[in-house]
Chains A and B, each alone.
Chain A
C-alpha cells in the first residue's frame, strides 16, 4: 500500500508542476499579457508601462519568470491582487468558506439521493422502476445549472417567497437560521445537478455486485433481503465510490462557479469570474493552480481513505 501511495504522490507532484506551468502559460499568452490591466488605466505612458513591467520582472525570459513565480508559489507567496494589493492566498481563503459551505450542503443532498437512486435502479434492472430512475438521472444530467437556479428563484423566492434569492445573509439578520435560508436554494440547485454522477456510478457498481454469487449465496442461506441490501450490497458498492470523489470535486467546483453567479454567492467561482473581468491575473493564476491542487489533494486523500476502508487493499 505504501508503495502505491508513494507512487501516487510522486505522480501528483509531477501533475502539480505541470498544472502550475499551464496556469502560468495561459495567463502570459494573453494579448497584452499580465500588463493588460495597467495598459488600460488612464494617463498610462509606455515609459511608465515599461517601468512597471521591469518592476514585475516581465522583461525577463518567460522560463525565468516561471521559475521565480513557482519558487514563490512553493513558499506560500502567491503574489498580490492587482485590484487592491491583497495577497492572492488571503483572497482565496476569504472566498473558500462560502464555496465549502455550498459544496458540503449540496453533497449532503446529492450523495444519499444519488446512491439511493443508483441502488434502486440496480436492484430493479430491466423494470419500469429502473427506467424511471434512469430517466430522472438523464433529466438531472441535462439541466443547465443556471437555468435550474433561475427556476428555483422564480418559484421559491419570487412566487412563494420561502427563501431569499441570493447573497450569504440579509443585512441586519446575521443569525444562523437566516444564513441557512440563504444556503437553501444554491445548495438545492448544485445538489440536484450532482445527483447523476453518484447515481450512475452507484448503479454500475451495485449492478455488478448484485449479480455476483455471494449475493445469491446469502439469499440461498436465508439472509433477509433488507440485510443483503444494507449490510452486504451497500458497503461493497460504497467503497469504490470513495475514489469517485476525485472525479466529483472538479465538477463540483465548475457547478459551484455557475451556481455562485446565479445566487451572488461570494465563493471562489465568483472570485474567478470577477478576476477575469478585471484581468486580475495573479488571482486568476492563483485560482487555477489552487483548484487543480485541491483536486489532486482530494483524489490523494480519497485514495488513502479507500485503502484504509477496503479490507481487500489492506496489508
Chain B
C-alpha cells in the first residue's frame, strides 16, 4: 500500500533543529503520502522525536529552520498547503488535534490522571468537532468503540488509573483521532506496552488507516515494529537521514551500512536480515551533537569505513540504482554504496 494518489500530506524540506550552538537535526527531507505510514527509525539521540516535535511547534526554545508544509485533504484542498514551521502559536494551535495529532510513548502518563475519560474526549470534541452535550457524548462513545474499548459507556466515567496500559493507549488514540486528522504522528506508541498488547495496538492503527485514510509518521527504534506497520522506512542517524526506502525494499536489502547493522542487531528480525544468522551488535554509540565530524557521521562505527572519503567528506543522500520508472525511490547516504552492493 504505497504512493497513493495526489500529493503528500506532509512535505518536509531541509528541516533543521538546534538549541543555541548545538545542532540536533539538519537537512531533513521527507514526504508523507496520503494514507501512507512512514516509520522514522533510529537509536535514541538520532533526532526522531525532536524533528516531529519541531514540526508541531512543541519545542520551546529551539531554533528551527527549513519547511514543513501540510496539505489539505481532497482535490479541492489548497495547492500551496500550510507552512507549519514559523507559524505563530495562535494559528498553529487550532491545527493540532484537528489536522495533525501527536501521541507519545507512555500511555500511563499521557492522560490527565484526575479527569474522566469522558471529560477528556468531550474537551477535544468541543474543540475540534464543535460538538457538545448529547452529540459529544454519543461521538465519544463511538470513538471509544472504534478504538476497541469493550465497554465504551462505562469507560467514559472512569479515570485513567482504572484502565490498563493497552486500554489507555487506545483512549489516547481515540483522543488523537477525535478531530479527524489527516496525519497522526506517533512517538514510540507501543514501546511501553507488553508484546501482545503491542500487536493489538499496531493492528488498531492499521485498521484506522484503512477506515479513515489517515497518514502516519510512526517513530520507533524497533525495526520489528516498523516492519509490521510501515509502508516506508526512513532511517535517521545523528540528526540526518541515512536511508529512505519502501519497506519491502528496505527489509529485503538495506543499503546503508548503519541500516544493515540495525537490522542485524534487531532481535526477531534476523531471519529477514540477509546473511545474518546470529544477532549482530553495533559497536559504539551515536556521537553527541557537538562531536560530529566533517565526514560521514557513521564512519567511526562503520565496518566499511575508509579514511578517504568516509572520514573527509559527508556523502550525499543518493538514489540507489536502479529505481523502476515511476516506482518509489530508494535513497541512501553512503560513499561506497556501489562497492558494497546488495
Interface residues of A (CB under 8 A from B): 212-214, 216-225, 227, 231-232, 235-236, 239, 310-312
**Contact B110–A312 (Cβ < 8 Å):** no
Nearest Cβ on chain B to A232's Cβ, whole angstroms: 6
**Contact A221–B97 (Cβ < 8 Å):** yes
Interface of A is mostly: helix
Q: Which of these, B106, B111, B179, contacts A222 with CB under 8 Å?
A: B179
A–B pairs, 26, beta carbons within 8 Å: A213-B106, A213-B110, A214-B109, A214-B111, A214-B112, A216-B104, A217-B104, A219-B58, A220-B104, A221-B97, A221-B102, A221-B175, A221-B178, A222-B93, A222-B94, A222-B98, A222-B127, A223-B97, A223-B124, A225-B89, A236-B112, A310-B114, A311-B116, A312-B113, A312-B114, A312-B159
Nearest residue, chain B, Cβ from A312:
B161
**Contact B179–A214 (Cβ < 8 Å):** no
Residues of B contacting A225 in the complex (Cβ-Cβ under 8 angstroms): 89, 93
**CB-contacts of B89-109 with A (<8 A):** 89, 93-98, 101-106, 109
Q: Which of these, B102, B123, B178, contacts A220 with CB under 8 Å?
A: B102
Nearest Cβ on chain B to A239's Cβ, whole angstroms: 7
Residues of A contacting B296 in the complex (Cβ-Cβ under 8 angstroms): none
**Contact A220–B103 (Cβ < 8 Å):** yes
Nearest Cβ on chain A to B53's Cβ, whole angstroms: 8
Residues of A contacting B102 in the complex (Cβ-Cβ under 8 angstroms): 217, 220-221
Residues of A contacting B175 in the complex (Cβ-Cβ under 8 angstroms): 217, 221
**Contact A219–B109 (Cβ < 8 Å):** no
If A213-B106, A221-B178, A223-B97 are given as contacts, then 13 extra A-B residue pairs at C-beta distance below 8 Å, sorted by A number, are A213-B110, A219-B58, A219-B96, A220-B56, A220-B102, A221-B176, A222-B94, A222-B124, A222-B127, A223-B124, A236-B112, A310-B114, A311-B159
**Contact A217–B110 (Cβ < 8 Å):** yes
Give CA–CA (A299, B333) in the complex, Å. 64
Say whether B128 faces chain A, with CB atoms less than 8 Å apart. Answer: yes
Nearest Cβ on chain A to B72's Cβ, whole angstroms: 17
Say whether B172 faces chain A, with CB atoms less than 8 Å apart. Answer: yes
Q: Which of these, A213, A220, A224, contacts B109 with CB under 8 Å?
A: A213
Most-contacted residue by chain B among A220, A231, A236, A311 (CB, 10 A)? A220
Per-residue CB contact flags for chain B residues 115-128 toward chain A (1 = under 8 Å, else 0) read 11000000110011
**Contact B111–A217 (Cβ < 8 Å):** yes
**Contact B97–A220 (Cβ < 8 Å):** yes
**Contact A212–B96 (Cβ < 8 Å):** no
**Contact A222–B96 (Cβ < 8 Å):** yes
Shortest 6 CB-CB contacts between residues of A and residues of B: A222-B97, A222-B96, A221-B97, A220-B102, A213-B109, A213-B110
Residues of A contacting B96 in the complex (Cβ-Cβ under 8 angstroms): 219-222
Residues of B contacting A214 in the complex (Cβ-Cβ under 8 angstroms): 109-113
Give CA–CA (A235, B161) in the complex, Å. 17
**Contact A223–B159 (Cβ < 8 Å):** no
Q: How many A-B contacts are there with CB distance less than 8 Å?
A: 75
Nearest residue, chain B, Cβ from A126:
B61
Nearest Cβ on chain A to B70's Cβ, whole angstroms: 13
Nearest Cβ on chain A to B217's Cβ, whole angstroms: 13
**CB-contacts of B174-196 with A (<8 A):** 175-176, 178-179
Nearest Cβ on chain A to B81's Cβ, whole angstroms: 18
Give CA–CA (A219, B109) in the complex, Å. 14
**Contact B127–A220 (Cβ < 8 Å):** no
Nearest residue, chain A, Cβ from B99:
A222
Residues of B contacting A239 in the complex (Cβ-Cβ under 8 angstroms): 114
Nearest Cβ on chain A to B106's Cβ, whole angstroms: 5
**Contact A222–B114 (Cβ < 8 Å):** no
Nearest residue, chain B, Cβ from A310:
B114
- Contacts A213-B106, A216-B104, A311-B159 given; does A221 touch B111 at CB 8 Å: no
Give CA–CA (A224, B91) in the complex, Å. 11
**CB-contacts of B118-173 with A (<8 A):** 123-124, 127-128, 159, 161, 172
**Contact A311–B179 (Cβ < 8 Å):** no
Give CA–CA (A227, B114) in the complex, Å. 15
Nearest residue, chain B, Cβ from A224:
B93
Give CA–CA (A217, B95) in the complex, Å. 14
**Contact A213–B101 (Cβ < 8 Å):** no
Nearest Cβ on chain B to A211's Cβ, whole angstroms: 10
Residues of A contacting B93 in the complex (Cβ-Cβ under 8 angstroms): 222, 224-225
Most-contacted residue by chain B among A213, A224, A235 (CB, 10 A)? A213
Give CA–CA (A145, B172) in the complex, Å. 50
Give CA–CA (A236, B105) in the complex, Å. 22
Give CA–CA (A219, B97) in the complex, Å. 9
Nearest residue, chain A, Cβ from B104:
A213
Residues of B contacting A236 in the complex (Cβ-Cβ under 8 angstroms): 112-114
Residues of B contacting A235 in the complex (Cβ-Cβ under 8 angstroms): 114
Residues of A contacting B105 in the complex (Cβ-Cβ under 8 angstroms): 213
**Contact B179–A221 (Cβ < 8 Å):** yes
**Contact B112–A220 (Cβ < 8 Å):** no
Nearest residue, chain B, Cβ from A214:
B112
Give CA–CA (A214, B102) in the complex, Å. 12
**Contact B56–A223 (Cβ < 8 Å):** no
Nearest residue, chain B, Cβ from A315:
B162
Give CA–CA (A310, B89) in the complex, Å. 33
Nearest Cβ on chain B to A130's Cβ, whole angstroms: 14
Nearest residue, chain A, Cβ from B108:
A213
Residues of A contacting B127 in the complex (Cβ-Cβ under 8 angstroms): 222-224
Residues of A contacting B106 in the complex (Cβ-Cβ under 8 angstroms): 213
Give CA–CA (A218, B103) in the complex, Å. 10
Residues of A contacting B159 in the complex (Cβ-Cβ under 8 angstroms): 311-312
**Contact B124–A220 (Cβ < 8 Å):** no
